Structure 1
Amino acid sequence: MTTVKKWLTQTRQRLHRSLKYRLNRPLPPASSHVFRGPVVVVGSAPVIHKPEGWDADFSVMTINGSQSAIRGWGIDVPDISFMMFNQVEGTSANAVEVRRVLSDQRTRSLYVLLWRKNQRQRLADGLKAFGYSYDNLTIIDRYERMSLFEEITGRKNTEVRTEDKCSNGLNAVLFALYHGAPQVIITGINPNSTGHSYNQTGLARAHVQMDKTIIEQLLAEGRPLYTADPQVSRDLNIPLWTGRPKA
């Protein structure tokens, strides 16, 4: 595709999505889970750390195959899991690995991003095929994700280019903040890293610059964002979580 054709295609997509977004006025995805204490968002970067002071008030959110990394913490069932649509039936090395590590596992609330809402039964069948179960299943469409992004950042984002989008991990952070999490602690979310905790494919990360931009904005606004990973704290100037402040 030539540069001009690509620009025209992207412009048409932006106009179409902007109009549909304005007409539909979607709300961010809802949550039935109540965040009573810190929320730990576990990404798939190779290094993760269990936050200090873990207790029953903590909630845990996992992304794609990162659920496999928290078994060492004594947690078999996350409170919330975000899964990208292509992990369910995709044939890429990463999708195959995600299904392998999630085989016969479960979560409480599963959110599948960008799956077609009129194909819910196909989604349920696809999850059943690798034995993944859940208490609640929600599909997040593009416009709900755009709404979540705007609600927290104040930015409109039509998600036309890959570099315009946040990672699933950052979307989980926005979700937790939107639903009132008193603190959000990330671990295994490092825009500077490559590879995943659950495989050895060494894939590069997409959405690097947007993730950094949104992290910088959240910190500048004083949002309660922390990391449990010392290297990420040093690299991105995110406060290192050392336990809840003493009353």
Structure 2
Amino acid sequence: MFNLDAVSQSWRPFIRHLKYRIHAPPVPSFPQLMQGRNVVIVGSAPRSCRPKHWDDNFRVVTINASQMAAHSWLTETPDLTLMQFNQIEGMNANALEVRRVLAGQHTKRLCLLHWRHGLARLEHGLAAFGYRYDELHLMSRYARIALMQAVMGQLNLELETGSKWSNGIVAAALAIESGAANVILTGINPISSGHGYNQLDLKRQHCDSDFAALQLFRLRQHPVFTADAAVADQTGLPLWSGG
């Protein structure tokens, strides 16, 4: 019997790859912000800390609502925030919590990932929970694929949830592509569960792919460190000691 779903699934990688080639997006980067800087990627998995030898040279990139998970030490406005499209209108528990804790907050540059609607709808959605920004940027699915291929040396078409890299890993890749001198991760632990800005203890969706990404950073000799001693022990990523 002819199985239309099976045929559709078998063609999916080819179609995604074809669309990627047709779009041929430039690799996104923020060299004016990160070139030659120590860039801190702040996650919420579930705890983060201020890296050693913090000074004005550091640039801070937050993920979704991680600026609130780091509120005890991150007193500066984030230089850049990467936010998944679903956080704007989604009705799942995580999206609702993101909007709740970010209400009235601010970032210097907001980069929305995979936004599929018009700009006016996005601006309206952000205004609805009072999240403010100085600059607004969009990163399409295909631009994200191009970024990760450039930095990781692998083409990941993001066909399955388990194969995707988390936004924290994407932020680290963005810092590398932007010429960061060092990339310091904090609050990014692929072995953990939960988010530092709520008590829902939600399971992480990218554990295996993120763990593999950390190993790939080492293999490709990218200057990626962790500020979290436990993560260094668990993943083999070098512990940031200043530099």
Q: TM-score, normalised by structure 2?
A: 0.94
Distance 2:179 2:204 in 1: 28
Distance 2:213 2:122 in 1: 31
**What residue is the counterpart of 1:158 in the other structure?**
157
Instruction: Map 1:88-237 onto structure 2 (within 5 A).
Output: 88-116=88-116, 118-237=117-236
Shift in Å, 1:100: 1.0
Shift in Å, 1:21: 1.2
Alignment pair present for 1:8 and 2:7: yes
The one-letter code sitting in structure 1 at the alignment partner of 2:127 is K
Q: Is the 8 A contact 1:70 1:76 kept in 2?
A: no
Q: Is the 8 A contact 2:52 2:241 kept in 1?
A: yes
Shift in Å, 1:122: 0.2
Secondary structure, aligned partner of 2:169: helix
Distance 1:178 1:5 in 2: 41
Deviations 1:189-221 (A, max 9, x none): 001000000011111111111111111111012
Distance 1:107 1:220 in 2: 33
The one-letter code sitting in structure 2 at the alignment partner of 1:240 is L
Distance 2:229 2:83 in 1: 26
Q: Is the 8 A contact 1:162 1:206 kept in 2?
A: yes
**Mind listing any 5+ residue stretches in structure 1 that lack a counterpart?**
none
Deviations 1:99-139 (A, max 9, x none): 111110110110111111x5111000000010001111111
Secondary structure, aligned partner of 2:71: helix
Distance 1:140 1:91 in 2: 22
Shift in Å, 1:6: 5.9
Shift in Å, 1:13: 2.0
- RMSD, matched Cα: 1.5
Shift in Å, 1:154: 1.4
Secondary structure, aligned partner of 1:226: strand
Q: Is the 8 A contact 1:81 1:107 kept in 2?
A: yes
Distance 1:227 1:164 in 2: 22
Shift in Å, 1:33: 4.0
**What residue is the counterpart of 2:64 in the other structure?**
64
Shift in Å, 1:32: 6.3
Alignment pair present for 1:84 and 2:109: no
Shift in Å, 1:49: 1.2
Distance 1:137 1:32 in 2: 16
Shift in Å, 1:70: 2.8
The one-letter code sitting in structure 1 at the alignment partner of 2:68 is S
Deviations 1:117-169 (A, max 9, x none): x5111000000010001111111111001000110111111111111210010
Q: Identity over the aligned pairs, expressed in percent? A: 43
The one-letter code sitting in structure 2 at the alignment partner of 1:236 is T
Shift in Å, 1:29: 2.1
**Mind listing any 5+ residue stretches in structure 2 that lack a counterpart?**
none
Aligned residues: 240
